[in-house]
Each structure stands twice: as structure tokens, then as C-alpha cells.
Amino acid sequence: MTTRRTILKTMASAAALSVWDAPFRFSFASVPTERRLVVVVIRGALDGLAAVPPHGDPDYASVRAQLALDKNGSAANVHDLDGFFGLNPSFTNLKAMYDAKEAVLFHNICSPYRDRSHFEGQNCLETGGNSPHALNDGWLNRALAPMGLANGTSAVAIEQTPPLLLSGSARATSWMPAVMPEPDNAFLTKVRALYAGDPELSSSLDGALNMQAQAASMNDDPNAKSGKFKASYGNLTPLFEGAGKLLAHAGGPRVAVLDASGWDTHVAEGAGDGQLARRLQSLDQGLETLKTALGPAWKNTAIVMATEFGRTVRPNGSGGTDHGTGAAAFLLGGAVAGGKVQAEWVGLKPSALKDGRDQPARTDLRALFKGVLADHMGVSQTALNTTVFPESGNVAPMKGLIRA
Amino acid sequence: MSLEGAIAVHRFGLGARPGEIARASGNPKAWLIGQLSGGAPMPAAPQGGWAGAGKLVSEEEDYKAEKVRTKGDKIARKDAKSKGEPLPGGKDAGNLRKQTFNDEMGARLALGITTDRPFAERLVRFWSNHFTVSGAKKKTLLFVGDYEREAIRPHITGTFEDMLFAVCMHPAMQIYLDNWHSTGPNSAAGQKNSKKGLNENLGRELMELYTLGVDAGYTQADVIAMAKLLTGWGLYDGHANGFGFYEDRHEPGPVTLRGKTYQPGWDGAVAAIKDLAHDPATARHIARKFATHFISDDPPAESVKRLEAVFNDTGGNLRALSEAVVKDQAAWGADLKKFRTPVEYVTAAMRLTGWNGQGEHSDKQMKRLMGAVRLMGEVPFEAPSPKGWPDTADAWNGSDGLLGRIQWAKEFGDALPQTFNVGDMANDGLGPLLRANTKTVMAKANSKGEAVALLLASPEFQRR
């Protein structure tokens, strides 16, 4: 849900957090890895040609018409990457990461899903199945055990409730910046007694208390924030900052999931200086905030950002774009061997497009996920092909995404 | 008070008002079915009444014109704003959107708390969520309340087909799913301006979300065919309902939709929508969703089948569908299987207190409540996508979400006047559903407020 975050006016002060005594003093699990993995689910189908414009493609300017971003234009200067691909003008911080060889961009990439429903597409993206609803839990949840992180506190969703991606039999928790005063311990002890014999509610409550305890024990409490956050839709900063601080903690979680929604640009897309540009700017700022909050842990971090599918190559009748297929994806972080764009590019001529309208899907997103899980988090090939992504033996993990 | 009475009030209603379980206990099923007569409950109108969709369309157009006209006058507006003076260019339509939205949302929440026909109100909410339009898209804000009052409420015991037409023709839906400017490329308007064209959004969601369901086997070509049929459906402030059909935007030529040929024009679109309303896939889709809402997150296949058969046999009669779920024995198990959504949760808590909206602080209380549901992540009329708010526990029972409810319950309990008898409230509010363990823990509370908070935090109050 995106609503709670939209009204984060002020954060509770550090003083409002109670010092936890028994039975809520959780000892931090000894975490088996220094590696951090963040997955950002970009919900709503991000327009890849606006985010990572192939401005060097001979057909780009004509097929994109009013949505084309001009290398030499005024309001919409793309950041050139390699003379062919560029980054949306909003991606100032991401461009700096690319230049520091800490970011890889992907194009013509998609989950195995080939229709155009958001909800089925997101299901496929999150379950990692070959088709929507083929699997009931999230691939990241299934990866927790092979990563040695299935202890209930090593994986956190920056949400009220973990999304499908992180849902399943392995335990995970969720956390959001506090907006209400914390109830006192004596009261919570009684609530816990209420939930005796109710595994659904008691494990959910324990997960919450655990995260609260972690947040409270940190010198750099993610709930403690001096400034005020602007109460505008799409301010991702408090969420990225909270995630970064939790992950930075020596005994904190090692896997975090964030949701960024608001990309379904059917009307007046504004790729260069409109709604999409502003949304991308918010995402770009979020990434920079995350990097800052991670501090020294940044060098051990990989951040994957993926969307359910791309959008139509040509603008529709409303100055926007409709649901497409092949999309852009992002991998960044201090642990990433970056500074490159990976795409099996086939051009933008109608004959190269899927159904004459969409970017084709030439790369399976799971190849990217597998490459990161294998080389960054040490998940074995066997686990990847059986439990994490069942029936995906034909999808080889990408190599060379993580620094040696 | 009987167990069945308590189930009627909680599972099919909105939680107990004082004495309600006792009233329902005589004949719980008749108590529920009786609520289906007399039209849907209606939210209280503000002074001067609601504006009406046609009026709202012209307001919205005014707003657009206003924005363009005052764009060059930004400095003057900023200046006026800082001095607290009226903005140049007349009324501030942005405030009108917000004000209208807040009035509608407040009236709707209040109705949920006060109504003595909670089952009928639950049906309104179910259908409103099924046919979601959302103020998350700002241009829709003005219309979402009118949409529920005019397109949903009149049809909850009518036919699915009538509701579907009302929904498709309402300005809220036309705006929300971008159909109002969708233009056939070969229509007169499309030929004149090549930048205008088809928008697939409503055509797709009409089949995927509102009728057939996503797995019903339609193709991208079908989506385009439906979108073509819907070209020309749009807004017109000269009609009281705000709807108009623009022939000059309508795509000429017959289309093939799911193997059947439809002629272009108004009649072609109407025929296609009728076919969707009566398709067996629609019956299957609706039956499953209805059973999931009232019975459990994973409803028994037999219940779904029964509801599907009723939908098919009655041509989509929604009164018959509602009676069928009440009469389904699987819906009467003592286990509380459904996790309340945040709006259901705060509504049930408020009903427990007997709140009637008449007190001198009622407006403030309603504002706080609107803030509370926002914090908990479910804002009426503002779902995150056309799919509406999720209706299963996994969307609401996560760690942070649960803690938010518990925190709210504590604040709520502490704010209640000390005149309450908490024991009576618990017995009257949950009847036979109240567990011994909850009573034991409540007895340890160190204040009335804490006891109320524990009651609201209890598993039997979190679920229905």
C-alpha cells in the first residue's frame, strides 16, 4: 500500500521510543553475511524508453514522437552513457553511480509473462514462476533459506505487510517509519497474551516488536529524523532512508524489499519534464538517500530494480503509453561491477517489435536475479534451479554483475 | 444472543452496535435478507445537497481552464496565498476537489458506523471495490463519491448488467480509465488530428477486472476491439449525469470481439457490454470474488459453484446472489476466517460505542477517523489501482500493519469517556464470539481505556 507513506509528516522522535525490557529484548541474530541485497519492485510498468532512452537508435526520435528525449534538447537533456543509450535527465545520482562503475542498466528484459495485465505481470515478477499463479510464494522468500537468512529478522519489507515477493514459508518482517506513539511494554505484553494460540497474529506481532527493538537500539535510529518530510505522494526518501539505516546496522537485516508505485503513465506521460520525470527524480533521490544511509555498508550492497513489463514504443492517443512487454531494469550498488548497459538490442523498427508495438523481451529477468543471488549472496546453482526458480533450468544466471 | 446472531452482525454486517446482536439473534438470516429491501442506505448530503455529475464535469472543466488562464499569473497567486487572500482567477477548484472528496468520504464512513442495514452497506462497499475508481488519480477526486451514490448504490439488489452500464457511463470511470478522450484513428476526429488515438485502458479492465476475469482467454486483439467500441463514450456537462456519446470520435467499421462481430456505433458497444455481463466467465469470476469476501480467503468450491449457478440462472440478479450467500451453510461456521480490512476495523470499533454522529465533536471525530484509516493504509475512494483494495488477510496482517492497529486501539481506548462499562461493551459487542482468554486478559488491564484497547486488539475483533 502506498497510502501510509504519503502522510508521513513528521517522524516520531527518538525519545518517544521506549527502552525494551523483557520479554521484548531481542538479541540480534548473528548474521552470516556482510552482503546486503535490496529489491525495489517498480509497480505499474515503467516506461523503459523514457528511463533508459536509446537516443542513438536511428528510429528513436521518430517512433517516440513527442515523448522522445533529446540529447541536445533544452528541457530534456538525456545523460549519455555510451553514445547509444542514455539515462533520463532525472537520474542525476544514478548517472554518478554509473560513472563510478556501480550501476548496470538492462533493456529488452522481462519476466516470462507475455500478456499485458499489471496484476498477472506482477504476480509473475514476484513469484518467479513461468506463468502467473503457477507458484504461491515469492522467489525472494524461497531464496532466504539458501542465503541462510530465514530467521525472521534478516529480511524486511519496508511496507505494512510483506509483498508477495517476500511472502512464503520463510519468516520475514516488515517495518515502516513510526507515525504513532509507541504503546508501552506492559500493554504489549497483554496483547501478546491475547494472541496465545494464534500463530498468524502472534508471529506478526513478534516480527513488529523485533524491528521496533532493532530500530530503537541503533545509534542512528531510522525513526529519528530531524527534518520534516514533505507530505507529498511519492516521496520515497523516508522509506529508502529507513531501509538503509536498518541494513547498515551490524546485526540488522540483510535483505530489504521496497515498493515504488505510480508508473502507469497512460496519459500525459511527461518523460522529460512532467509526471514521469518527477517520479523518476523521486526514485533517483531515494537511491542516493539509501546510499548515504548505508554508509560503509554500501560497498557490500547490490540493489535490483525491476518492473512487471514495459510500455508501448509509440505514444498512445493521450500523450501516454499503454502496456507493453520488454522493459528496462537496474542493478546498482557498491558491490556491483557496473558502468555498462546490457541489452540484446534489436532496434525499434516495427518488424523488430513484438506485435509491431512493444519492445521485445530478449532477456529473462530471472537471469539477472539468478546472477545476483549466485555471485552476491552465494546461492547455489542447484538451489536457484529447484527451490528459488523452479523449472527455470534453461535460464542461465548472468555472469560478471558483481565485483570479484 | 445467539452465535448465529453474532455471526450475522460481524461476518455479514459491519460489527455490532449496542443491542444489535440481540436484535439479529431471533432470525439471523431473515434479519440479513430483510435489509435488502428499500434501496441502498444513502450517506447524509451536505447543506445544499450533492452537486451531481453533470455539474461536477463543468466544475472540472472550469478548473482546467482556470489553470491555463492563471499559469502566467503564478506570482500574483503566490502573493495572495501568503497574505491569505482569495486567489486571483476566482474559486480555487483544487480545494473544491479536496473538499468534495473529504465530504464524500466522511459521509460514507459515518454511514457505515450508523446504519441499521449494515449488510446492505457491505454490499455497496463490495461492489464499489469491485468496480474501483480511485481518487489516487487527482482528476477523479471530484467524482468518486457521486459514482458510488449514483452508479453503485441504486443497483445492489438490481442486475449486474444495469450496474455495469451505470459504471461504464459514469464520468468517474470515463476519467479514471482514460476513455473519455480515446479516439478512433479512423474516426472524423482521429483523421483531423493524428496525435489523437485509441486508449486501451477501460477496454482492458472492463474484461479483466469487471467482467470476465483475467484468465478468461481473451486476447490483445479483443482488448483493442473493446477499446474501439468504447471510443466516443465520454463527458458532457450538458447532461445531468455528465455522460455523452461523441459520434465524431467513434471508430468506424465492425470489430470482432471474442469471435463475434459487432457493428460500430452506440448499439454495437451496448451489445458487447451486455454480452460481457452475461458471459459464463463473468458469473464464475463474480461468484468467486463474492464468496471470498463473505466466506473465506479460499472459499469452498461448492459455495462458489452455487453462487455461480444463481448468477447464471437469474441473469445476474444481485439480490438473488446476496440471498444465496446468506443461505449458504458454509458461510456460518464459528471460525472467524476473514481478517478485517482497516476500514472494516475502525467502523466496527466505532459501532461498538453507539456513535451516532450527533455529538458536538462529531466532525472532529470523523476527521480523526479519516486520518486513522489513512495511517492504516486503506482510504475509502482511493485504492492504489483499478483492482481495488485487497480482500484477503495476507494484504493486511503484516507486522507493521498489525502494530499500527494495536497502536490505534490504544489511542482509541484512552480517548473514550470513562462512563463506559467495558464488560458490557465486550459482551454486547461480540456476544458468544468473545473468548474466555480475551476476558481473562482484559481483566488484567490497568485502565478502562486499556481494556477497550485489548478488546479491539483481540483476535476475534480483528476478524469477522
| Residues of chain B with C-beta less than 8 angstroms from the C-beta of A176 | 400
DSSP state of B262: E
Q: Which of B214, B377, B441 sits opposite A4 (nearest CB)?
A: B377
User: Cis before residue B28, ω within 30 degrees of 0?
Assistant: no
CB pairs under 8 A between A and B: 167
Predicted confidence pLDDT, tens digits, chain A (404 residues): 333 333 332 222 222 222 222 333 344 445 678 999 999 999 999 999 999 999 999 999 999 998 998 754 434 589 999 999 999 999 999 999 999 999 999 999 999 999 998 888 999 999 999 998 889 899 999 999 999 998 888 999 998 888 999 998 888 888 887 666 667 778 988 999 999 999 999 988 988 887 777 666 554 555 544 332 332 335 788 889 989 989 998 888 999 999 998 899 998 898 888 889 989 999 999 999 999 999 999 999 999 999 999 999 999 988 899 999 999 999 999 999 999 999 999 999 999 999 999 999 999 999 999 999 999 999 999 999 999 999 999 999 999 999 98
Q: Does B281 touch chain A (CB under 8 A)?
A: no
Do residue B410 and residue A4 have CB atoms under 8 angstroms apart?
no
Q: Where are the beta strands (DSSP E) in B146-267?
A: 233-235, 243-245, 255-257, 260-262
d(Cα A88, Cα B341) in Å, to the nearest integer?
A: 39
Mutation target to probe the B interface, by most B beta carbons within 10 A, among A119, A159, A173, A190 is A190
- A187–B458 C-beta distance less than 8 A: no
Neighbours of B278 (CB within 10 A): 17
Contacts of B384 in chain A (CB under 8 A): 1-3, 261
Span B223-259, pLDDT tens digits: 999 999 999 999 988 899 999 999 999 999 999 999 9
CB contact (8 A) between residue A267 and residue B199: yes
Residues 60-89 of A with CB under 8 A from B: 65-66
| A-chain residues near B379 (CB < 8 A) | 3
- Sign of the CA dihedral running B339, B341, B347, B353: positive
pLDDT band at B85; cut points 50, 70, 90: low
Which residues from chain B sit within 8 angstroms of residue A4, using beta carbons? 374-377, 404
CB-closest option in B181, B379, B411 to A318: B181
Of chain B residues 202-221, which have a CB less than 8 A from chain A?
204, 208, 214, 220
**C-beta separation of B67 from B73 below 8 A:** no
Q: Does A200 touch chain B (CB under 8 A)?
A: yes
pLDDT on residue A1: 33
Give contacts of A319 with chain B, Cβ < 8 Å.
Answer: 195
CB-based contact B377 A1, cutoff 8 Å:
yes
Cβ within 8 Å of A, B 315-374: 371, 374
Q: pLDDT tens digits for B369-378?
A: 998 998 888 9
Domain map of chain A by residue range?
38-177+222-388
Cross-chain Cβ contact A157/B398 below 8 Å: yes
- What are the cell numbers at B122? 457491505
> CB B378 to CB A3 under 8 A?
yes
Tell me how far apart the terminal alpha carbons of chain A are, to the nearest angstrom.
37
**B182·A167 Cβ contact <8 A:** no
**Are the beta carbons of B441 and A159 separated by less than 8 Å?**
no
- Residues forming beta bridges with residue A80, ordered by sequence position: A86
CA angle B245, B250, B252 (to 5 degrees): 145
Fold of A38-177+222-388: Alkaline Phosphatase, subunit A (3.40.720)
Q: Is A191 on the interface with B (CB under 8 A)?
A: yes
Contacts of B190 in chain A (CB under 8 A): 317
Residue B401 cell numbers, joined? 500493519
Contact B398 A159 (CB under 8 A): yes
Q: With a cut of 80, say whether residue B76 has pLDDT above it.
A: no
Rg value, chain A, Cα = 21
* Coil/strand/helix, residue A126: helix
| pLDDT, position A145 | 94
Chain B hits for A323, CB-CB cut-off 8 Å, are 200, 204
Which of the four pLDDT bands, split at 50, 70 and 90, describes residue B74? low
Say what the ipTM of the complex is.
Answer: 0.86
Contact A55, A78 (CB under 8 A): yes
Chain B, 179 to 198: residues with Cβ < 8 Å from chain A are 181-183, 185, 190, 195-198
> Mind telling me how many Å the CA of A2 is from chain B's nearest CA?
7
CB atoms within 10 A of CB A337: 16
Residues A187, B200: C-beta atoms closer than 8 Å: no
Residues of chain B found within 8 Å of residue A196, distances taken between Cβ atoms: 437
